Amino acid sequence: MISPGDRHFERLVRLVRGVFEPAPGTGRIILAICFGFLTHTIFAAAVLAMVVAMFFGMSKSLGAVPWPTAAFANATLLLQFPVTHSFLLSNSGKKWLSGLVPSPHRATLSTSTYAIIASLQLLALFALWTPTGVIWWQANGWTFHLITALYAASWGLLIKASWDAGGEVQSGALGWMSLMRNAKPVFPDMPTTGLFRVIRQPIYVAFALTLWTVPVWTPDQLTLAVALTSYCLAAPMLKERRFEKRFGQRFRDYRDDVPYAIPRRASSVHHSAGESGRFIARD
């Protein structure tokens, strides 16, 4: 039995065990496996497209729309992600999302369906972008190696933050793995450990860092960085409203103790680490 308070690794082990020991039901198992393959294939393709495209400052992509029409096409690609992403996290968006999968498994597969759509959006943005062909600056020598290391570290932080938040939710695995067990998905508890002890929004901050630690700078990369960084700073406010409604005073205590996006000095961080036990223990 998986519960919200289980540690991340323990939760993942139990979910994976359920994949190899599924509950009886051939049709349900086939559906779950198909969703799992689709979810993680598209997710991997989207991440690869993001890493490669930004590494070259959005100067290499598959988009070939003639200019100046390309400006409108790129703007559409850029706006579709934050707008749709925010909509799908709303109550109306969740209802629409659940309607994409036939009953009786629509609720169980909601996280996988969400991950598929979000991954397709990111894949479209980074793979179909039409480059301007203008390169302002490109790192060389030791500067290239330093910035590349910072870029890799930013992605490492993003992976760590996603793990701390519940990797099975962030990757879409929770839905199809729960369906294999024929069990209702159990979401992780409110994240307060790991990087969430330092700031409340480490996923958004880490993603913003990947936008600014690239070795090639172009008008394309600057446009992307400004637009998505603005989203990363504003969008979590809506997320925190949902958390306050769901977790009540427990989230308010956490919000009062842990900064939004900029870490406090070391002594304050140590204090927050000690306080995290209080957030975990409280119902």
- 68-115 pLDDT tens trace: 999 999 999 999 988 888 888 777 787 787 778 777 888 888 889 999
Angle at 223 between CA 220 and CA 228, to 5 degrees: 125
Q: Which pLDDT value is given to residue 149? A: 98
pLDDT in tens, 29-68: 999 999 999 999 999 999 999 999 999 999 999 999 999 9
**Residue 128 pLDDT > 80:** yes
User: pLDDT class for 9, splitting at 50, 70, 90?
Assistant: confident
Q: Exposed, middle or buried, 113 (CB in 10 Å: 0-12/13-18/19+)?
A: buried
Portion of the chain with pLDDT greater than 70, in percent: 92
pLDDT: is 166 or 157 the higher one? 157
Mean pLDDT, the chain, rounded, equals 88
**Residue 195 pLDDT > 90:** yes
pTM of the complete model: 0.86
Q: Does residue 211 contact residue 271 with C-beta atoms inside 8 Å?
A: no
Q: Which pLDDT value is given to residue 273? A: 47
Q: Which pLDDT value is given to residue 279? A: 53
